[in-house]
Amino acid sequence: MASAPVRPQFSKLLFVSLFTVVGLGLPLFATADPPFVNEPADVSGVAAYVGAYTSIRIDAGGNPCISYYDETNGNLKFARKSGGVWTKEPADNSANDVGWYTSLALDGSGNPHISYYDETNGDLWYARKSGGVWIKEPVDTPGDVGRTTSLVLDALGNPHISYLDYTNMDLKYAWKSGGVWTRVTVASDGEVGEYSSLELDSQGDPHISFYDQSNGDLLYAHRQNGTWDVVVADVTDDDTGLYTSLALDYLNRPHISFQDATNGALKYATKIGGSWDVVTIATGNTGWDSAIALDKAGHPRISYYDAYFGDLMYSRKVLGTWETYFVDSNPQNSGSYTSLAMDASGRPHMSYYNETSGDLIYAYGPAEVVDVAENQPSLVPAGFTIQPNPSHGGAVQIQLANRTVGQDAVRVSILDVTGRKVRTLALDGTGAVTWDGRDDNGSPVRAGLHFVIPSGGGTRTSQATRLVVVR
């Protein structure tokens, strides 16, 4: 049986990473804010390995569901947590080595649907659970097809899958309708199609991000009115576009996370107003296995593997600035094959693989402040001032010009970066208040990023500004 790909070596020289990142002017890294909870979802045991090629989704009850590969037994597995207990089962335990490159979707009834690769025969397969029984069927079989799969369900519950035709090095797309699978080649110019990620827009049209190995480019394909349009999303001479992950916002605009292999960087691309905007989020042999998800306001969150340290990382864009956190930074090599999903409350959920122990791991963070994350300066009330900012823990003067108690803003709430409210203060008749840097219990707040939010009438507004506390 073939084993999962070997990951690069890593180091734990944490202080070097922090110095390098800050020195380059890239996003500041933090270790425990917001705090993440990590727990094993499937423990392999001695000399056994389970948990590669993960894919996570959250069901209607807020429970995490994960598809993944059992390398020891060569099986496709599925895990769900309910009532605080993980239930694991094989979704395909055939004699073949199956379960590579899994991609999971849940239908309206919470039933799992999984696309995956049969490594023994080089075939693309699809499995779904109905009435407590797993039903499996081949999707594409001639040649070596089915690597790097990506699965979504349409409004009728029909499966759609993008994948790599390894024999021809082409990007392919398959969908099932009326009980029949249809397969088409999307791109075939050179060696293309690896690391594909698929989404359907509000009209049911497919969008796919993928890697052009021949030219080292990130490509983006969109089918509209039956015609595929394929463009380069990151125009550069570097080898870029690996480990792509795609999400569409409520306006059907693409957001893509991916790796720049030349510079060992995690990058992010989005198309707004007809042009692509590409930024670098982190550097240093990082950005492996990136996974992107959007919060309810359409703001990007990305999980990825830092191969230099062997850590799972999480980046989010807040008020126009990328902030990056360690999700799992234990001394072991943990964080590869990561997948990310956001629940209805804005809480991030991640599945990933601990390569040292050979276990499937699950992590989740706190609910995030959706209505604050990435407000543009134009949304901040005119005359909304905070002095001093940064604060060194002393008195902070907060002033809302032209806002009085009789108008819409009668108080301000102060939230920490996790979205937890630490203090609520009433404004005086001039719209001002002094904060002493303490929470509602009288304890000094922790250092770090905070948000000051005007509120009134029992409802918090969407207007906010940032306050940094330094101690």
pLDDT in tens, 152-174: 999 999 999 999 999 999 999 99
Nearest to 304 by CA among 280, 271, 320: 280
Query: How do 254-260 and 85-92 pair as beta strands?
Result: unpaired
Taking alpha carbons only, the member of 348, 351, 357 closest to residue 337 is 351
Q: CB pairs under 8 A, 24+ apart, for 264-267?
A: 264/307, 264/308, 266/290, 266/302, 266/304, 266/315, 267/234, 267/240
Higher-scoring residue by pLDDT: 224, 340: 340
CB atoms within 10 A of CB 169: 16
* Per-residue confidence band for 447, with pLDDT thresholds at 50, 70 and 90: confident
pLDDT tens, position by position, 13-25: 332 333 233 333 3
pLDDT of 34 above 80: no
If one compares 442 and 197, the residue with the highest pLDDT of the two is 197
Determine the pLDDT at residue 334: 94
Cα–Cα dist 232/264, whole Å: 20
At residue 452, the pLDDT reads: 83
Check whether 466 has a pLDDT greater than 90: no
171 alpha-carbon distance from chain centroid: 23
Q: pLDDT band for position 391 (50/70/90)?
A: confident
Please say if the pLDDT value at position 403 is more than 70. no
Supply the pLDDT for residue 372: 40
Asked if residue 340 has pLDDT above 50, the reply is yes
Average model confidence (pLDDT) across the chain: 85
Looking at residues 86-94, what average pLDDT do you find? 97
pLDDT at 55: 98
- 288-338 confidence digits (pLDDT tens): 999 999 988 888 999 999 998 899 999 998 777 888 888 998 889 999 999
Span 203-241, pLDDT tens digits? 999 999 999 999 999 999 999 999 999 999 999 999 999
d(CA 337, CA 290): 8
Residue 344 has pLDDT above 90, yes or no: no
Confidence band, pLDDT 50/70/90 cuts, at residue 27: very low
Long-range contacts of 276-279 (CB under 8 A, 24+ apart): 276/233, 276/234, 276/235, 278/233, 278/234, 279/322
pLDDT, position 456 = 59
pLDDT tens string 250-291: 889 999 999 999 999 999 999 988 899 999 999 989 999 999
pLDDT reading at 379 higher than 80: no
Distance CA 101, CA 118 (A): 9
Give pLDDT, residue 35.
78
- Give how far the C-alpha of residue 101 lies from the chain's centroid of Cα atoms, to the nearest Å: 17
What confidence category does residue 402 fall into, taking pLDDT thresholds of 50, 70 and 90? Answer: low
Tokens of 347: 């809480």
Query: And the tokens for 274?
Result: 């007809």
Task: Say yes or no to pLDDT of 383 above 80.
Answer: no
Predicted confidence (pLDDT) per residue in 143-154, tens digit: 999 999 999 999
Alpha carbons 107 and 159: distance in angstroms, whole number: 10
Mean per-residue pLDDT for 438-443?
87
Statement: residue 409 has pLDDT above 90: no
Confidence band, pLDDT 50/70/90 cuts, at residue 1: very low
Q: Which residue has the higher pLDDT, 409 or 59?
A: 59
Percent of the chain at pLDDT > 70 equals: 85
C-alpha 48/C-alpha 72 separation (Å) is 5
